[in-house]
Structure 1
Amino acid sequence: MSDEPRETVVRATCRALCAHGYANLTMQDIADETDLSKAALHYHYDTKRDLLTTFLDSLASWYEGRLDELPGADAAERLHALFDECLSAEDDEADYPAFHTAMLEVKAQAPYEEAYRERLTAVDDVVRSRIETLIETGIEEGVFRDVDPEATASFVVDVIVGAYTRNVAVGHPLEETRALLDAYVDDHLMAQGREGGEGDPRREAAE
């Protein structure tokens, strides 16, 4: 399947997944979101599992594109911009509550579906790698303290993933986690004398 029809099917899979959830999702549901028949879908994809693995592949690529060119004058500003991307509850093209509810269902299948597990790991790796690079850059720029970039990036990804799980399961606001991550950067990452870090006169005056 060429790129354009494939993208159409990926978007249709996302819409159908949001509308029906993982457990009730059928090939017909996905076909109904496109101009294709169920038979045409089956020509390219044998099962719902095949469609979902293609969708998850595209999700990793989507995150890569979104996180590749983050705005900001330095690594700290770009890290805050990454938090905006990863913890935003608004998007013109997505029903975020339904999307993340459906994704939690997909993640619940990962222990039993190696294909899902591999692709979900790839999504996490895209985010973790971008955060790690930003922290390394921030250390080189003198913006961040000399922390362990890999361990710090893994911690931040754990917080982001956990935030969505809590948001879907019990309605915990994403904004609260976003604020906590901002505070974490200011309190634990910013180099002494940098804005938000120890030695920042504005912070000391506020205290």
Structure 2
Amino acid sequence: MGTDSDEGIDTQEAIMRATYRALCKHGYANLTTQAIADEFDKTKGVIHYHYDTKEALLVAFLEYLLEAFEQNIAVDERADPDERLRTLIETLLFGPPERGEFDHWELMTALLEVRTEAPYNEEFRRQLTRNYETVEATLVAIVEEGIDDGTFREVEPELVATLLLTCLNGARIYQVTLQRDDIADGTRESLEAVIDGWLRRSESAVEST
């Protein structure tokens, strides 16, 4: 049934939260409209009133998940590029410093469940692509600023973003699918070594400019 935290929110938000709980409990393959209805104090009829099909509901749900994800990775624009880059890597791996509305690894698992359907669902691919490009643009902008102010070497920002996102996305998938709890920590250490040993300009190079 619904939780106390659902009180006072609108019906569509309650449906999204119920879908999230049902997905976390049953997985994508066993996610049914009835399972979603069981997670809040409404009937299946209420769900069908707002969403004509299960497909329409899941498309809206993916958008909901991605909005939550993007809110979780917001960084302080006032920080210098090096700090912002490291903070973004940390947040992409482990979630925001202050616990958000969703448990980070639970959210990553829910997103992974939906990602598995993306090869067969054009709308899922579109939304996931938009999310990827949003995060990619954030990384590119940070690296470009770091190059401009002399913090980072002259590199191709887009290639840096591709490298980081490939490592980060892989780390999150491995963290939630393997019987290992050290993947995210190891990835953070590896990426910090990449930043320190390759991306950042050496002190001597900075002093000579």
The normalised TM-score by structure 1 is: 0.82
1:72 deviation in Å? 6.2
Identify if the C-alpha distance between structure 1 residues 149 and 126 changes in structure 2 by more than 3 Å, giving closer, same or farther.
same
Matched residue of 2:129: which SS?
helix
Alignment of structure 1 residues 111-130 onto 2, 5 Å = 111-130=119-138
Structure 1 SS opposite 2:28: helix
1:181 aligns with 2:157: no
Gaps of 5+ in 2: 1-8
Q: Hey, what's the Cα distance between the residues in 2 that align with 1:72 and 1:83?
A: 17
Q: Secondary structure at the match of 2:202?
A: coil
3-state SS of paired residue (2:119): coil
58, 62, 85: which one pairs with 2:64?
58
Q: Does 1:152 align with 2:160?
A: yes
Question: Any conservation in 2 of the 1:17–1:99 contact (CA below 8 Å)?
Answer: no
Counterpart in the other structure of 1:204: none
- Between the aligned partners of 1:128 and 1:63, the Cα distance in structure 2 is 14
RMSD: 2.5
Q: Distance in 2 between matches of 1:99 and 1:59?
A: 8
Kept after mapping to 2: 8 A contact 1:71/1:81: no
Between 16-25 and 101-110, report the one with greater CA deviation: 101-110
Match of 1:205 in 2: none
Structure 2 Cα separation of the partners of residues 16 and 182 of structure 1: 37
Identity of aligned residues (%): 39
Q: Which ranges of structure 1 fall in alignment gaps of 5 or more residues?
A: 201-207
Q: What is the aligned partner in structure 2 of residue 164 from structure 1?
A: 172
In structure 2, C-alpha distance between the alignment counterparts of 1:131 and 1:39, rounded to whole Å: 43
Question: Using a 3 Å threshold, how does the CA distance of structure 1 residues 40 and 14 change in structure 2: closer, same or farther?
Answer: same
User: Which of 41, 45, 51 is matched with 2:51 structurally?
Assistant: 45
Query: Among residues 121, 125, 137, which one is paired with 2:145 in the alignment?
Result: 137
Number of residues of Structure 1 aligned to a counterpart in Structure 2: 195
Give the letter for the 1:148 counterpart: E
8 Å Cα contact 1:163-1:177 kept in structure 2: yes
Shift of 1:199: 8.1
Q: TM-score, normalised by structure 2?
A: 0.81
Aligned to 2:111: 103
Q: Is the 8 A contact 1:59 1:123 kept in 2?
A: no
